[in-house]
């Protein structure tokens, strides 16, 4: 029998209307959107289904919106009796992975990520931080570039190690600009500035991490039911104390997604189900190892297809 990993996307995958069909057709999914509205004391569901795209993209809206949509989809897998062998997420997606693994309730998680988004937004004044995707350069060479620029007084560091040849850097606006230029001079194919509201996964997020620690203190964290691969270590985390420490550290540390997928391969995982809007993570998985089976699920049709595939090919559905 194949081993299945559930993967959960992070910011950037959101779009107006995501999850709406599920809300209208599936009572288990509707309950999740209603719970989010209640926990946040706002009509998050209305923003997701028919709101303004620019408003949804604001980090403190995008984070709870993506978590809610992902968990609304997850509920259909739970209803079908499918339990993953491992879970993992990309940045914000790690919270969805922890909900799926039973480490935190959805209600606590949606509140925590709303606050996380607010703290990240407040940590660095608009325009002072930046992020850029560097294509066609390996991590070691790029690390030398960012270390040099930082030593010269403009902080920049590796933020997302996504897949071979795709690494995101983050830091001060000047640091990212200089590192992008030097990366291209040292062989990078392209440097693409990202449309983000702050320098996420950089040292500049440490003030946000301190505030997040207080929020997580108020959440009830538990040991996981299934192993979760941490963004920070690209290794297994199952104990609640370790989970809390890793979630705090994650805000200012690189997301080691390529290493996460390689760790899951080492653990014998062969099927990767991306639960949430978009297909970003499925694409990254294929770039790490094109032979892996990926299934992206985001609406009733793709959920049914995934359940059927699991049942027919892998015997995972009850």
Give me the active site residues, please. 91, 201
SS3 for the chain, per residue? CCEEEEEECCCCCCCCCCCHHHHHHCHHHHHHHHHHHHHHCCCHHHHHHHCCHHHHHCHHHHHHHHHHHHHHHHHHHHHCCCCCCEEEECCCHHHHHHHHCCCCCHHHHHHHHHHHHHHHHHHCCCCCEEEEEEECCCHHHHHHHHHHHHHCCCCEEEEEEEECCEEEEEEEHHHHHHHHHHHHHCCCCEEEECCCCCCCCCHHHHHHHHHHHHHHHCCCCCCCCCCEECCCCCCEECCHHHHHHHHHHHCCCCECHHHHHHHHHHCCEEEEEEECCCCHHHHHHHHHCCCCEEEEECCHHHHHHHHHHHHHHHCCCC
């Amino acid at each position: 029998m194949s081993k299945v990993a559930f993967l959960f996307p992070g910011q950037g995958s959101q779009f107006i209307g995501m999850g709406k069909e599920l809300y209208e057709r599936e009572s288990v999914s509707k309950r999740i959107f209603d719970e989010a509205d209640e926990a946040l004391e706002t009509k998050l569901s209305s923003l997701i289904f028919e709101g303004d795209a620019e408003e949804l993209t604001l980090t403190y809206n995008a984070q709870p919106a993506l978590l809610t949509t992902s968990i609304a989809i997850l509920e259909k897998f739970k209803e079908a009796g499918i339990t993953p062998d491992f879970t993992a997420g990309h940045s914000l997606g790690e919270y969805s992975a922890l909900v799926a693994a039973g480490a935190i309730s959805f209600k606590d998680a949606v509140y925590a990520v709303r606050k996380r988004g607010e703290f990240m937004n407040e940590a660095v004044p608009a325009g002072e931080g930046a992020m850029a995707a560097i294509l066609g350069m390996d991590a070691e060479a790029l690390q030398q570039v960012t270390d040099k620029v930082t030593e010269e007084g403009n902080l920049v560091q590796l933020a997302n190690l996504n897949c071979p040849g795709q690494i995101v850097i983050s830091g001060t606006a000047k640091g990212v600009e200089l590192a992008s230029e030097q990366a291209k001079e040292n062989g990078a194919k392209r440097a693409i500035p990202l449309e983000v509201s702050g320098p996420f996964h950089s040292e500049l997020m440490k003030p946000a991490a301190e505030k997040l620690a207080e929020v997580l203190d108020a959440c009830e964290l538990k040991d996981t039911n299934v192993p979760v691969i941490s963004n920070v270590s690209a290794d297994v985390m199952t104990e609640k104390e370790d989970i809390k420490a890793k979630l705090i550290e994650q805000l200012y540390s690189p997301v080691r997604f390529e290493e996460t997928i390689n760790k899951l391969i080492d653990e014998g995982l062969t099927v990767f189900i991306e639960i949430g809007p978009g297909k970003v993570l499925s694409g990254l998985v294929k770039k790490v190892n094109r032979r892996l089976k990926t299934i992206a699920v985001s609406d009733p049709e793709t959920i049914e297809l995934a359940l059927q595939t699991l049942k027919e090919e892998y015997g995972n559905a009850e």
